[in-house]
Amino acid sequence: MRVTGGEVFDLQQGFVARELCTEGRMISAVSGDEQVLDATDCYVIPGLIDQHFHGALGEDFSDGLEAGLQKMADFELSEGVTYICPAGMTVSEEELTLACQVAKAQSEKNQGAELVGVHLEGPFLCMAKKGAQNAKYLRDPDVAMLARLQEAAGGLVKLVTLACEQPGSIEFIRAAKDLGIAVSLGHTMADYDTASAALEAGARQATHLYNAMPPFTHRAPGVIGAIFDHPGACAELICDGVHIHPAVVRATFQMMGADRMILVSDSLRATGMPDGRYPFGGQEIELHGNRATMADDPNTLAGSVTSLMGCVRQAHAFGIPLADAVRAASYNPARMLGIDHRVGTLDEGKEASLVLLNKADLSIRAIVFHGEVVRRDDTVKQ
């Protein structure tokens, strides 16, 4: 296939007017067939990678349902999210085990967005910053439990969120690394020194920066300041127009640098659904427009109802250069998940998963997944 007439995402240069060729499932130097995809007036970007989302269309990863996870994977692919790392909530070990087993089975399929990992957002969190997580199942760091979940997932657990002020956190971080799992600091009351010690022990990022952690102040910089002071650490950001003020989005990209930012959706089962109440890890959430809160506490946000592609559009609307927003939703999460050798950019030898975005409004013109056109607008010439 030849993708012609578009401006192609480039990690170093932003967007470059050039032709892109594919052969089979891969990006290549020359086209493997006579097929042409017209990308005139389009940006051509890598398929996005969401390393932190819970659900969509009434389904949730923690439900542990094969049909539900397939429905989620199909929805994500339709939104230009070609690789997914669903997140488990703070529920029982039995429920998390089932979700991990279902994830393993989904990863072996070739349907919908490709499942490339699992993110355990709970249960190793603190009570004071549990947010929408279920307090009933919170627990201190437990290496044995983490190992059991990794076994159930067949090695697919790539991220685990940790409140690093809890006893045994440093040992947990080191053990997680041995299991092939990156630790993300979140749902925590850790101060700067505690967070710094966790990062020096091997923690690699922050879960949805600013949310569910102490604020960044001039005498108590907390987790946010610690992340900034450790150049190898990354920061997730929910850019849905609800969780983070536009000025803070701009300031954070400027402070951390685009190479350290990871956009995530943190989307819930209410994504793509009408206003109303929905189950959430043994609790209930209430959706009004694009704002989801705990049903019994309207002041507590419960995740987003915006897709990752929607977050990219929102970040750009807030003033983030499109190339930086795309990087934060493709290459950076690929690097965090350890799959940047095959996805995340549009370089020769990478997988041919890409999205054509109309320049006018960043709407999706076409989606190519593993070298096959899986969605295209009727106006696309082919």
Active-site annotation, residues: 266
- Asked if 170 and 318 touch (Cβ cutoff 8 Å), the reply is no
- Asked if 157 and 150 touch (Cβ cutoff 8 Å), the reply is yes
Q: In whole angstroms, give the CA distance from residue 89 to residue 119.
A: 9
Query: Taking the CB of residue 131, how many other CB atoms lie within 10 A of it?
Result: 19
Q: In whole angstroms, give the CA distance from residue 50 to residue 332.
A: 10
Q: In whole angstroms, give the CA distance from residue 190 to residue 198.
A: 10
- Asked if 284 and 294 touch (Cβ cutoff 8 Å), the reply is yes
Q: In whole angstroms, give the CA distance from residue 254 to residue 31.
A: 39
User: Token pair for residue 184?
Assistant: 């993300």
